[in-house]
Amino acid sequence: MPVYAKLVKASNARFRGRIITIASRDEYEAEVNVIPVPDGVVLCNGCNENVAEGYLIYLGKKELQQDSPYDIYCSSCLSKYFPKTIKVEE
Domain definitions of the chain by residue range:
4-13+39-88
The dihedral over CA atoms of 77, 40, 58, 62, expressed in degrees to the nearest 10, equals: 180
CA atoms within 13 A on the CB side of 60: 3
State the Cα–Cα distance between residues 12 and 25, nearest whole angstrom.
35
Local mean pLDDT, 10-residue blocks, the chain (90 residues):
94 95 93 94 96 96 95 96 91
* pLDDT score at 57: 97
Q: What is the pLDDT of residue 44?
A: 97
